[in-house]
């Protein structure tokens, strides 16, 4: 798959923050995904263990989630753990994996944040600029923002707000289970991102593409993603 190579990954944390502030102006987070044209979706995840990172991209048909392609890439973890800078820790190994893709998915679902990020450029937004395709952030825990009450049934949703700005949606994909924190990455908007995630999670809390990527990325036993 061809990528839009934006920058070097060889940056300090201070330089990475400055780059995020620059790139955030290029992120498009108000464009509805044309869901009627979505036929192929990809899940993206990275596992880290013993300072080695493995990226997995699993491509599935939509809406029946049949396997199309799986690519893996493994390399030493190049960047320290710094809250809000996940894309610089995982970006290099993801770039390597994306370049192996023979299929071009219609949408990428990331195990990580989109614009629900302190500088509005989580990993789904950042890598979306490299991919130039619609991307969605699916966070398992809240990174930033606040929300009100959320009903227990599947499909319940509440706006995720930060400083008066709606940055995503808190979405319960399974009744009485912890919700997900959904936000557009790039070339997407909040409402269609949430709708697609819910459609991609017919049985489990995590959307099928992300579940498949998480399983493929596992580095031989218990792994951590930070």
Q: What is the mean pLDDT of the chain?
A: 95
Alpha carbon separation from 23 to 4, 136, 224 (Å, rounded): 13, 17, 28
Contacts of 114 (CB under 8 A, 6+ apart): 29, 122, 124, 125, 128, 135, 136, 137, 168, 182, 183, 184, 185, 186, 188, 193
* pLDDT tens-digit series, residues 57-76: 999 999 999 999 999 999 99
Which helix (H) or strand (E) covers residue 183, if one does?
Answer: strand 180-186
| Per-residue model confidence (pLDDT) at position 221 | 38
Residue 226's CB is within 10 A of a number of other CB atoms, namely 11
pTM of the predicted protein model = 0.94
* pLDDT tens-digit series, residues 157-170: 999 999 999 999 99
Query: Is the distance from CB of 145 to CB of 170 less than 8 angstroms?
Result: no
Rounded CA-CA distance 31/73 in Å is 31
Where in 27-179 does DSSP place strands (E)? 40-49, 52-61, 67-76, 107-110, 135-139, 157-162, 165-171
| Per-residue model confidence (pLDDT) at position 182 | 98
* Lookup result for tokens 């770039």: 95
Which backbone phi and psi does 49 adopt, to 5 degrees?
Answer: -150, 130
Domains, the chain, ranges and CATH? 13-217 (3.30.2170.10)
């Amino acid at each position: 798959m061809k990528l839009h190579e934006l920058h070097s990954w060889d940056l300090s944390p201070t330089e990475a923050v400055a780059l995020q502030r620059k790139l955030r102006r290029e992120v498009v987070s108000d464009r509805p995904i044309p869901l009627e044209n979505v036929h192929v979706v990809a899940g993206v995840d990275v596992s880290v263990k013993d300072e080695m990172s493995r990226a997995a991209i699993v491509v599935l048909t939509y809406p029946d989630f049949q396997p199309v392609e799986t690519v893996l890439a493994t390399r030493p973890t190049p960047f320290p753990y710094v809250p809000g800078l996940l894309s610089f820790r995982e970006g290099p190994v993801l770039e390597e994996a994306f370049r192996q893709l023979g299929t071009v998915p219609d949408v990428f679902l990331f195990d990580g944040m989109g614009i629900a990020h302190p500088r509005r450029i989580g990993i789904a937004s950042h890598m979306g600029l490299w991919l130039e395709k619609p991307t969605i952030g699916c966070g398992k825990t809240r990174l930033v923002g606040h929300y009100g009450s959320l009903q227990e049934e599947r499909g319940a949703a509440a706006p995720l707000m930060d400083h008066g700005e709606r940055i995503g949606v808190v979405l319960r994909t399974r009744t009485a289970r912890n919700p997900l924190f959904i936000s557009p990455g790039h070339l997407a908007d909040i409402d269609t991102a949430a709708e697609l995630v819910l459609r991609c999670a017919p049985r489990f809390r995590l959307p099928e593409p992300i579940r498949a990527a998480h399983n493929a990325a596992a580095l031989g036993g218990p792994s951590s993603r930070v």
